[in-house]
Structure 1
């Protein structure tokens, strides 16, 4: 089975808080989603953050690629970007229970998936715990 391609963004405010969201199943992660036809990776990352959390963000740099199998057994390949937002205001869609901008240490504690924690450490230049 081919991997579903997607893109996501680790969005930071100017004071280095990071955006995370909580899905209805209780898991905390970053906004990410599949690529629409004709869309490039950067456009996908920007669209997903805006659609999922109502946050306007700009791409700062490319971070890397995560490969994993989701809960439905579908392989995913997510191309990540470090992004920045000028505001810490979040306007969540109905998809999520909660979310917002958190200090890095708090976000690391909340994130459920090892890949997400690794990406945040990488974006912050931290060593693996």
Structure 2
């Protein structure tokens, strides 16, 4: 068990696409994805929504500013029969293009074409799955919805299939 996070891990990742239809990918220095192209991702911090965590992690790891397009899906699993490991995956649009690599966690970061990622032996399994799933069907968000005062939400977003995507 990771004492800092307990037995339930909640993370967020972002598939950031630029105007050239390239994907923002990173190579981590640690863990099961060490040296593999993967999505910028990290753990949700207290006081932030899943989508805010994805935007923050993208900015921290790569220096790229991005905006949410929608919710792509969820990865969930159990590690060693004790840790619930969950990650929400969002689709984002890049609003900047100058990459600044966070060298503590990453070897590198880049915008790469889908063709380059398909051919690269260092592309992670999740990225390969996403490449096969493109074009994406995603859940758009509704920022104006709030269930009301009794709940005490200070932030609230609903990702829901409203039939427009």
Q: What is the TM-score normalised by the length of structure 1?
A: 0.83
Measure the CA separation in 1 of the matches of 2:49 and 2:78: 22
Of 53, 61, 83 in structure 1, the residue corresponding to residue 62 of structure 2 is 53
Unaligned runs of 5+ in 1: none
Of 1, 7, 13 in structure 1, the residue corresponding to residue 12 of structure 2 is 7
Matches within 5 A, 1:1-129: 2-24=7-29, 25-68=34-77, 74-94=83-103, 95-110=105-120, 111-122=122-133, 124-125=134-135
CA spacing shift, 1:114–1:68, aligned 2, 3 Å: farther
Measure the CA separation in 2 of the matches of 1:116 and 1:69: 20
> Size of the alignment, in residue pairs?
124
Measure the CA separation in 1 of the matches of 2:35 and 2:78: 18
How much has 1:107 moved relative to structure 2?
2.0
Q: Which runs of at least 4 in structure 1 moved beyond 4 Å after TM superposition?
A: none
Larger radius of gyration: 2
